[in-house]
Amino acid sequence: MALRYALIYALSYKPVDDISYDRQHGTDTSGIVPTRNLDIADDSTRWQANLFLASPARITRYMIEAQLGAESINPEDYSFVDYGSGKGRSTLVAAEYPFKRAIGIEISAELTAIARQNAERVKSRCAAPVEFFCTDARKFSLPEGNLFLHMYHPFGQDILREVLSGIRDQAIASEQPRRILIPYLFSVAMAKAVFHEFPEFRRTRDVFCMNPQYRWTLYEWVPHSPTGDGANNSASLL
């Protein structure tokens, strides 16, 4: 039995060791940075931040392509925004698609600097303009138009609640109708509970994965949405 579990562990995907994207592009998007090592001055904010661990490139591509295919979405009509962009891998993968803009938001100045260096290394292959902002996600002003807001469990429930409140307020204040999609990776119960406080963010899809760390839920901004959701479940072998 012990040998069986040892074999399962040996063959399982280990995100910390995944340097495939960096090997291909000469970038530095891998590794792990514990929360205590993030250069965040405010203690309460650092306590609510989650550690840096990049999402696998294939997961980001799957999330984008699954949604584009399901909805016949034209990425040229959307801006991609990654909350807690770290060293920039998900934002740079998104920039392979012709989004209006590919934006990363990261509170750590050190990680943002690395992300900008990575963007320089891959700019020749980007189909979308790339921008990285070193700022608190709660203070970021979203671009106008349709939005694809990527979240890989970037912060605790208090900050998530404030971020969703800000997204809602900006959506309400927008002069033009817009569509806002939020794929949330590593869709834990805490995050789902916070989203449930905002009925305007309707849960439309759950995608399951053999590795629970890469299960994701899609939310869509639907003004005056009734309580509840119409989520469709689907499975992935990623």
pLDDT of residue 180: 96
Q: Among candidates 124, 123, 65, 76, which has minimal Cα distance to 101?
A: 76
Band (102; pLDDT cuts 50, 70, 90): very high
| Structure confidence at residue 113 (pLDDT) | 97
Q: Which tens digit of pLDDT belongs to each residue from 52-61?
A: 899 999 999 9
174-231 pLDDT, tens per residue?
888 899 999 999 988 999 999 999 999 999 999 887 777 788 999 999 986 555 566 6
Q: Is the pLDDT of residue 121 over 90?
A: yes
pLDDT score, position 212: 75
More confident residue, 63 or 16: 63
Angle between helices 189-196 and 157-173 (to 10 degrees): 40
pLDDT of residue 75: 93
Residue 198: per-residue pLDDT = 96
What is the per-residue pLDDT for 12?
A: 53
pTM of the complete model: 0.88
> Judging by beta carbons within 10 Å of its beta carbon (0-12, 13-18, 19+), is residue 56 exposed, middle or buried?
buried
Whether pLDDT at 92 is above 90: yes
Long-range pairs for 188-195: beta carbons < 8 A, 24 or more residues apart: 188/153, 190/156, 190/157, 191/153, 191/157, 191/160, 191/217, 192/217, 193/157, 194/157, 194/160, 194/161, 194/164, 195/164, 195/219
Confidence of residue 67 (pLDDT cuts 50, 70, 90): confident
Domain parsing of the chain, residue ranges: 18-236
Span 99-119, average pLDDT: 97
Which class in CATH covers the domain with range 18-236?
alpha beta
* pLDDT band (50, 70, 90) for residue 86: very high
Q: What is the pLDDT of residue 234?
A: 57
